[in-house]
Homo-oligomer: A and B are copies of this chain.
Amino acid sequence: MDVTIYEVAQRAGVSIATVSRTLRGTGPVASKTREKVLKAVEELNFTPSRLGVSLAEGRHAANGIVFPNLAGPYYTQVLLGYEEVASELGRSVVILSTKGRTNVRDAVKDLAGRVDGMLVFGHTAPDDLVRELTAAGTPLVFISREPLPGADTLRSENTASAQLLAAHLQEHGHERFAFLGAPMTVGDDVDERWQGVRSVLGAAIEAVPTEEYTVECGHAAALKLMRGRNRPQAVVCSDDEVALGALLAAEELGLSVPGDIAVTGWDDIMAARHARPALTTIRQPMREMGALAARALDELITGARSTQNHLTLTTELVIRASCGNHPQEEPR
Binding site for B on A (CB under 8 A): 1-2, 45, 47-52, 54-55, 58, 60, 62, 69-73, 76-77, 79-80, 83-84, 87, 92-97, 100-101, 107, 109-111, 113-114, 132, 136, 215, 244, 247-248, 252, 270-271, 274-276, 332
Known: A50-B114, A94-B95, A275-B275. 10 other contacts (CB 8 A): A1-B58, A2-B136, A51-B54, A51-B55, A83-B97, A92-B94, A93-B95, A244-B270, A247-B274, A276-B276
Closest to A64 in B: B92
Residue pair A79, B84 in contact (C-beta under 8 Å): no
B contact residues around A60 at 8 Å (CB): 51
Residue pair A55, B55 in contact (C-beta under 8 Å): yes
Q: Bound complex: CA of A49 vs CA of B87, how far in Å?
A: 24
Given B93, B95, B270, which contacts A83 in the complex, CB threshold below 8 Å? B95
Q: Bound complex: CA of A271 vs CA of B136, how far in Å?
A: 43
B contact residues around A79 at 8 Å (CB): 70, 95
Q: Bound complex: CA of A58 vs CA of B55, how far in Å?
A: 13
Given B54, B110, B274, which contacts A244 in the complex, CB threshold below 8 Å? B274
Closest to A69 in B: B80
B contact residues around A58 at 8 Å (CB): 1
| Copies of this chain, whole number | 2
Closest to A116 in B: B1
Given B97, B114, B244, which contacts A62 in the complex, CB threshold below 8 Å? B114
Q: Bound complex: CA of A55 vs CA of B56, how far in Å?
A: 11
B contact residues around A244 at 8 Å (CB): 270, 274
Residue pair B96, A94 in contact (C-beta under 8 Å): no
Given B71, B114, B215, B276, which contacts A92 in the complex, CB threshold below 8 Å? B114
Q: Bound complex: CA of A58 vs CA of B62, how far in Å?
A: 19
> A113-B50, A274-B275 are contacts. A132–B80 as well, Cβ < 8 Å?
no
Given B47, B69, B94, which contacts A113 in the complex, CB threshold below 8 Å? B47
Distance in Å: Cβ of A75 to nearest Cβ of chain B = 9
Residue pair B96, A87 in contact (C-beta under 8 Å): yes
Q: Bound complex: CA of A174 vs CA of B163, how far in Å?
A: 50
Closest to A270 in B: B271
Residue pair B110, A92 in contact (C-beta under 8 Å): yes
Residue pair B270, A215 in contact (C-beta under 8 Å): yes
Closest to A95 in B: B93
Residue pair B83, A100 in contact (C-beta under 8 Å): no
Closest to A244 in B: B274
Q: Bound complex: CA of A110 vs CA of B332, how far in Å?
A: 43
Closest to A45 in B: B132
Q: Bound complex: CA of A270 vs CA of B107, how far in Å?
A: 29
B contact residues around A100 at 8 Å (CB): 84
Q: Bound complex: CA of A201 vs CA of B64, how far in Å?
A: 49
Distance in Å: Cβ of A29 to nearest Cβ of chain B = 22
Q: Bound complex: CA of A45 vs CA of B138, how far in Å?
A: 15
Residue pair A95, B95 in contact (C-beta under 8 Å): yes
Q: Bound complex: CA of A77 vs CA of B73, how far in Å?
A: 10
